[in-house]
């Protein structure tokens, strides 16, 4: 056994888990609009249980309609929900997993469209992120919510769940009462530490009384809010033993709230794996109950070592369960090379849910959330399918088409497959993007799909061989506006810089502050190159609300990089970049000028395919330059539908 500690059993108040791998709560948006459990949610959770985790904790489940964080959050505020919720443990128990329901009230971290009323909170202080007006809860309302948590726990037990988790983290209602950042009451629920602890302790006691002494109950906490005016780790070390005394059987140790800079509650690729384990250890040092560690952990080796050191008793693998639902079984069997690793890009999961108000997906796993649709059957007649382009869209399309039984070949004009991911994986903290390319090539090799590199397909070759279907995944090529001097020998493309095709020189001026420009600047600064970024827009195209955007801005600033906005480049002359900013002509000297000013789709073969009446699909950047999520998902869909 490669990971003996991770795959050892553990018992929490009579509930024995087959291993110490936990799938923590992650909001999906898969519930029905009436807050009942959907077929989609059951299928999604069942697929994760099938993958081998010992414990699965559902996403947030509202104890009161006014506590919903998003419109289709599942609910448990009446007995009418019990039969629907029972579908979850019924399905997951079939795979040997234990399942807990997470009980939740969003407090001020929600909006009126979700709750049907103005959000409620300890104090009438709007959410820093959402800015929604909210009202202070009366003593009568506090008592009602305490009872709501207790009754919800009783319903969860009646529905067949093995345990409940109280959501006391990430800036939601329980967390709000604990924190001077959000609680400015002057009654028995505010003011001193003891008063701010009262609400949570009363909920724990009420839940314990409702479910009895032998039903596992625990709480998820943010061990440190990491915001000015919030509580810190020393507060939670003081509070943790009090929660145990009140009746919790374990503590799930998260970190941060939604106002925390850098989005550490759902940490991005910019954060080290296991960065939060020292806080779990700090809580473990003061309590006798099991502690669950969490914080950008996707590697079973990191988890096993953490348990061995005594940092935590169980380990939560969150987004890794989205990317590869089978990774626990693969780790158990020693098939590490077959694991599709989560990159913590956040595009499909938390950012899609929070910023786009859509149900979650996974950039690298197109099947996530679509399990209820079932697998596409094998085809009756295998077609000869050409995939032109071996970037993320092309590789994804080839895997999907091959899985259906087609005879697939991939053609790539460059020396290596990977497309834009070859350059995208080079900036700091982004090497994991290359892991997906490696994983994809392994899958294609297993399926005997050839990848022909340095092979540019021509119209004549298509006409000569007449494939039965074609997927155009040719990507996009860099474009630049008409600027005098842009053809100078010191002007290079960002992708060539990142892939090592040019010699780096300092100082450098990067034209464009989108993700390509910002990440190229980050890369150059890490190599000791002085960098100035010029962006024609008045505001940063890459904002600081996303975790990756925040860390990009922070690293560039810390390393001495300069970001100049509202800078319209007018020309380049003998190493000087001339630009206009605030109606003033300015100049920046450079030994190297890097263009990162957009791209244009390459779909030059489309006309030939039309003329030859060969069925085709255009996917990824060849359709329109966008994110990796769209590229992989479009490729997969095209491959499935041939």
Query: Is the bond leading into 481 cis (omega within 30 degrees of zero)?
Result: no
Distances (CA, A) of 519 to 39, 121, 456, 567: 40, 39, 29, 19
**Among 44, 172, 523, 550, which one carries the catalytic annotation?**
172
Task: Specify the DSSP element, H or E, that contains 258.
Answer: none
172 is catalytic: yes
Nearest Cα to Cα of residue 265 among 306, 296, 219 = 296
- Terminal Cα distance for the chain, rounded: 42
Residue with the two structure tokens 């450098």? 508
Query: CA 556, CA 526: separation in Å to the nearest integer?
Result: 9
- Those residues with Cβ within 8 angstroms of residue 557's Cβ, 6 or more apart along the chain or in another chain: 563
- The span from the CA of 394 to the CA of 217, in Å, is 47
CA geometry: angle at 325 spanning 321 and 331, to 5°?
90
What is the per-residue DSSP string for 559-573?
TT-EEEESEEEEEEE
547, 268 Cβ separation under 8 angstroms: yes
Within 8 A by CB and 6+ apart from 489, the residues are none
CB-based contact 258:265 (threshold 8 Å): yes
Tokens linked to 441 = 């090539």
What are the residues whose beta carbons fall under 8 Å from the beta carbon of 204, sequence distance 6 or more? 166, 217, 219, 243, 246, 247, 248
Helix axes 139-158, 193-211, angle to 10 degrees: 30
**Cα separation, 320 vs 300, whole angstroms:** 11
The answer to whether 605 and 622 are in contact (CB under 8 A) is: no
Q: How many residues does the chain have?
A: 642
- Cα(607)–Cα(558) distance, integer angstroms: 49
Q: Is 452 helix (H, G, I), strand (E, B) or coil?
A: strand
Using alpha carbons, select from 330, 402, 400 the residue that is nearest to residue 367: 400
Cα–Cα distance, 398 to 403 (Å, whole number): 8
Phi, psi of 371 (to 5 degrees): -60, -30
Active site residues: 172
């Amino acid at each position: 056994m490669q990971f003996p500690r991770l795959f050892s059993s553990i018992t929490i108040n009579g509930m024995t888990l087959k291993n110490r791998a936990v799938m923590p709560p992650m909001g999906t948006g898969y519930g029905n609009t009436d807050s009942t459990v959907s077929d989609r949610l059951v299928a999604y959770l069942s697929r994760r249980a099938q993958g081998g985790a010992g414990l699965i904790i559902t996403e947030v489940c509202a104890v009161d309609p006014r506590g919903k964080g998003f419109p289709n959050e599942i609910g448990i505020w009446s007995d009418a929900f019990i039969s629907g919720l029972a579908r979850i443990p019924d399905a997951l128990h079939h795979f040997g997993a234990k399942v807990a329901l997470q009980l939740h009230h969003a407090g001020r971290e929600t909006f009126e469209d979700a709750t049907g009323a103005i959000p409620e909170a300890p104090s009438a202080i709007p959410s820093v992120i959402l800015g929604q007006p909210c009202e202070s809860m009366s003593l009568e309302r506090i008592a009602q919510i305490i009872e709501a948590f207790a009754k919800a726990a009783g319903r969860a037990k009646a529905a067949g769940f093995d345990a409940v988790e109280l959501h006391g983290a990430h800036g939601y209602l329980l967390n709000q009462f604990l924190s001077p950042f959000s609680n400015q009451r002057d009654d028995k629920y505010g003011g001193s530490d003891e008063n701010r602890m009262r609400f949570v302790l009363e909920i724990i006691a009420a839940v314990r009384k409702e479910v009895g002494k032998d039903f596992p109950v625990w709480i998820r906490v943010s061990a440190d809010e990491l915001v000015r005016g919030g509580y810190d780790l020393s507060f939670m070390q003081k509070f943790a033993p009090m929660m145990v005394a009140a009746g919790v059987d374990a503590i799930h140790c998260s970190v941060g709230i939604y106002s925390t800079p850098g989005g550490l509650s759902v940490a991005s690729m910019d954060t080290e794996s296991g960065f939060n384990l020292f806080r779990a250890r700090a809580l473990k040092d003061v309590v006798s109950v099991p502690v669950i560690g969490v914080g950008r952990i996707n590697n079973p080796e990191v988890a096993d070592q953490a348990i061995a050191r005594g940092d935590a008793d169980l380990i939560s693998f969150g987004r890794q369960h989205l990317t590869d639902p089978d990774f626990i079984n693969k780790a158990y069997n020693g098939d590490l090379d077959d694991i599709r690793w989560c990159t913590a890009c956040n595009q499909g999961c938390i950012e899609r849910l929070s910023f786009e108000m859509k149900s979650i997906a996974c950039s690298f796993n197109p099947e996530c959330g679509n399990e209820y649709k079932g697998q596409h059957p094998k085809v009756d007649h295998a077609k000869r399918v050409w995939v032109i382009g071996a970037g993320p869209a092309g590789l994804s399309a080839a895997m999907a088409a091959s899985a259906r039984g087609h005879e697939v070949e991939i053609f790539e004009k460059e020396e290596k497959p990977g497309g834009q991911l070859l350059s995208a994986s080079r900036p700091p903290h982004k090497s994991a993007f290359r892991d997906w390319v490696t994983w994809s090539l392994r899958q294609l090799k297993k399926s005997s799909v050839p990848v022909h590199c340095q092979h540019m397909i021509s119209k004549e070759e298509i006409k000569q061989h007449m494939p039965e279907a074609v997927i155009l995944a040719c990507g996009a090529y860099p474009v630049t506006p008409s600027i005098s001097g842009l053809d100078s020998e010191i002007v290079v493309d960002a992708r060539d810089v990142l892939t090592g095709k040019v010699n780096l020189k300092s100082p450098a001026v990067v034209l464009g502050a989108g993700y390509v420009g910002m990440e190229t600047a980050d890369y150059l600064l890490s190599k000791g190159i002085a960098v100035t970024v010029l962006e024609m827009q008045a505001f940063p195209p890459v904002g600081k609300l996303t975790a990756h955007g925040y860390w990009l801005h922070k690293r560039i600033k810390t390393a001495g990089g300069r970001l100049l906005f509202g800078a319209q480049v007018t020309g380049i002359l003998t190493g000087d970049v001339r630009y206009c900013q605030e109606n003033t002509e300015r100049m920046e000297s450079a030994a190297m000028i890097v263009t990162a000013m957009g791209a244009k789709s390459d779909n030059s073969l489309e006309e030939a395919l039309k003329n030859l009446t060969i069925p085709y699909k255009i996917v990824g950047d060849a359709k329109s330059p966008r994110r990796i999520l769209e590229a992989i998902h479009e490729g997969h869909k095209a491959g499935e539908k041939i």
